[in-house]
């Protein structure tokens, strides 16, 4: 008999439900809080240089987040989003990738971006929407993107990158590239229709995507238990017929190991993989949010102890790969470097008026050119009302 339903028929003669919680996905943990390894844990191969790059990327991001949140509070930038407490999820996974792999992020993945090589100046230019910003000052702060390092520009609407990642990876496969696409999103975004569309498309069309869910417990103020009912997000991967793995998101060794394994599988079979990192968004959703309105200090304190950086730091110290004193000194130097870069970027001019209409189309359509010409005439009439552009209209 054919199987037109694409379903396994194992017959029973007694009516019984399969429980919505019948499937419980285990969580991979390798590194303990105290910097030692769990006994018998699968230790991934990791050389000193890579481990130190992972560590320095995490500390860079933490210092950058502290400094830029403060800059937002001072009114120097309009908006910011930290990844406090989640640094290991994006850095550990990015470290497991090849530089040719595409990264499609949600918005809290500055760790992956920095690991790829986005420079401090590039961060600052985007955050200050100045004329050196690769995005030409068009998007709110943290909407980074850079073709040269295969980091797709961030889009604010949630989950839209998920089916796009399926299409991107399908194209990589058709071209015979030895690369995958990693697609980051949160447990909240997994409620969007695009999540279902994207995972189903990737599974059916055999696209080598690593769907990486940062389950950090909150979508702005909405806790995960008001977001979905099943066992995390990982349980859904099984429904889409794809390999699935859950890891402790504060354990960078577990994240690194699982992502390496997922990448190898996706590349070898063209099957997508769903990874779920269990993490905690220790900071606010964004600079416009205040978590004291929806969760307790006690809860935050409990998770603050679960710090991904200190755990990895202890492990590096125990291996003799990191020098305590030198590390502290380099952090002080980094703070100064960030402050200096900030001062430079905030003085760079905003993009010129021509970028109001450029890139809407490859070449501006006639109506756009006409609208710009009319606008220039108007600005010349009221130059004081448009100080950013009135002095440099030609």
Partner 1 sequence: MAKMNMLQAINNALDLAMAKDDRVLCFGEDVGFFGGVFRATSKLQEKYGKARCFNTPLTEQGIAGFANGMAAQGMKPVAEIQFADYIFPAFDQIVNETAKFRYRSGNEFNVGGLVFRSPYGGGIAGGHYHSQSPEAYFAHTPGLKVVVPRDPYQAKGLLLAAINDPDPVIFFEPKKLYRASVGEVPEEYYELPIGKAEVVKTGNDVTVLAWGAQMEIVQKAVDMAEAEGISCEIIDLRSILPWDADTVATSVMKTGRLVINHEAPLTGGFAGEIAATIQQRCFLHLESPIARVCGLDTPYPLALEKEYVADHLKTFEAIKASVKF
Question: Where would I find the H helices in 102-233?
Answer: 110-116, 120-127, 161-174, 193-204
Q: Does 377 bind partner 1 (CB under 8 A)?
A: no
Span of 271-279, 307-315, 316-324, 363-371 interacting with partner 1 by CB under 8 A: 363-371
Smallest separation, CB 239 to partner 1 (Å): 14
Span of 47-55, 135-143, 221-229, 301-309 interacting with partner 1 by CB under 8 A: 135-143
Backbone φ, ψ for residue 241 (5° rounding): 75, 30
In the bound state with partner 1, the residue whose beta carbon lies nearer, of 143 and 246, is 143
Question: Where would I find the H helices in the chain?
Answer: 48-73, 87-95, 110-116, 120-127, 161-174, 193-204, 234-239, 252-269, 297-304, 308-319, 324-345, 366-381
Q: Does 349 bind partner 1 (CB under 8 A)?
A: no
Q: Does 272 bind partner 1 (CB under 8 A)?
A: no
Q: Does 248 bind partner 1 (CB under 8 A)?
A: no
Residues 78-117 that bind partner 1 (CB under 8 A): 102, 104
* DSSP assignment string, 69-114: HHHHHTTSSS-----TT-HHHHHHHHHTS-TTSEEE--SS-HHHHH
In the bound state with partner 1, the residue whose beta carbon lies nearer, of 152 and 233, is 152
Smallest separation, CB 3 to partner 1 (Å): 17
State the number of binding residues for partner 1 (CB under 8 A): 50
In sequence order, the 6+-apart residues with CB closer than 8 A to the CB of 339 are 67
Q: Does 191 bind partner 1 (CB under 8 A)?
A: no
Span of 148-156, 260-268, 279-287, 327-335 interacting with partner 1 by CB under 8 A: 148-156
Residues forming a β-bridge with 146: 151
In the bound state with partner 1, the residue whose beta carbon lies nearer, of 32 and 355, is 355
List the catalytic residues.
281, 285, 294
Q: Does 341 bind partner 1 (CB under 8 A)?
A: no
Q: Does 61 bind partner 1 (CB under 8 A)?
A: no
Q: Does 345 bind partner 1 (CB under 8 A)?
A: no
Residues 150-189 that bind partner 1 (CB under 8 A): 152-153, 155, 157, 160, 162-172, 174-175, 181
Backbone φ, ψ for residue 102 (5° rounding): -80, 140
Q: Does 132 bind partner 1 (CB under 8 A)?
A: no
Q: Which long-range contacts (CB under 8 A, 24 or more apart) does 237-241 make?
A: 237/199, 237/211, 237/273, 237/274, 237/276, 238/23, 238/25, 240/199, 240/200, 240/203, 240/274, 241/203
The CA-based angle 56-329-327, given to 5 degrees, is: 40
| Binding positions for partner 1, rule: CB under 8 A | 102, 104, 133-136, 138-139, 143, 145-147, 152-153, 155, 157, 160, 162-172, 174-175, 181, 193-194, 196-198, 200-201, 204-205, 358-363, 365-368
């Amino acid at each position: 008999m054919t199987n037109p339903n694409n379903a396994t028929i194992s017959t029973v003669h007694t009516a019984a439900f399969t429980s919505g919680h019948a499937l419980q996905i285990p969580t991979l943990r390798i590194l303990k809080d105290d910097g030692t390894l769990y006994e018998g844990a699968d230790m991934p191969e990791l050389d000193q240089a890579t481990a130190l790059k992972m560590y320095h990327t995490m500390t860079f991001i933490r210092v950058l987040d502290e400094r830029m949140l403060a800059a937002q509070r001072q009114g120097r930038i309009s908006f910011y989003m930290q990844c406090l407490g989640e640094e290991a999820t994006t850095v550990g996974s990015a470290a497991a990738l090849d530089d040719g792999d595409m990264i499609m992020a949600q918005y809290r993945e500055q760790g992956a971006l920095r690991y790829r090589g986005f420079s401090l100046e590039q961060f600052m230019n985007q955050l200050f929407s100045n004329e050196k910003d690769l995005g030409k000052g068009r998007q709110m702060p943290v909407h980074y993107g850079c073709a040269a390092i295969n980091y797709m520009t961030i889009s604010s609407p949630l989950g839209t990158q998920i089916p796009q990642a399926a299409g991107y990876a399908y194209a990589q496969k058709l071209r015979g590239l030895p690369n995958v696409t990693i697609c980051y999103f949160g447990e909240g975004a997994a409620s969007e229709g695009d999540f279902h569309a994207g995972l189903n498309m990737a599974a059916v069309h055999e696209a080598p995507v690593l769907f990486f869910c940062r389950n950090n417990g909150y979508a702005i103020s909405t806790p995960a238990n008001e977001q979905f009912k099943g066992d995390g997000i990982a349980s859904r991967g099984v429904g889409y017929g794809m390999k699935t793995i859950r890891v402790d998101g504060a354990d960078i060794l577990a994240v690194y190991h699982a992502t390496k394994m997922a990448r190898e599988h996706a590349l070898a079979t063209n099957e997508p993989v769903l990874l779920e990192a269990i993490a905690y968004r220790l900071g606010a959703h964004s600079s416009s949010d205040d978590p004291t309105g929806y969760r307790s200090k006690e809860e935050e304190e409990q998770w603050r102890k679960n710090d991904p950086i200190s755990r990895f730091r202890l492990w590096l110290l125990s291996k003799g790969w990191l020098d305590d004193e030198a590390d502290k000194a380099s952090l002080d130097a980094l703070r100064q470097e960030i402050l200096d870069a900030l001062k430079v970027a905030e003085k760079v001019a905003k993009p010129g008026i021509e970028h109001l209409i450029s890139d809407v189309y490859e070449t501006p359509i006639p109506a756009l050119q006409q609208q710009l010409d009319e606008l220039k005439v108007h600005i010349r009439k009221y130059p004081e009302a448009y100080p950013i552009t009135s002095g440099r209209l030609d």
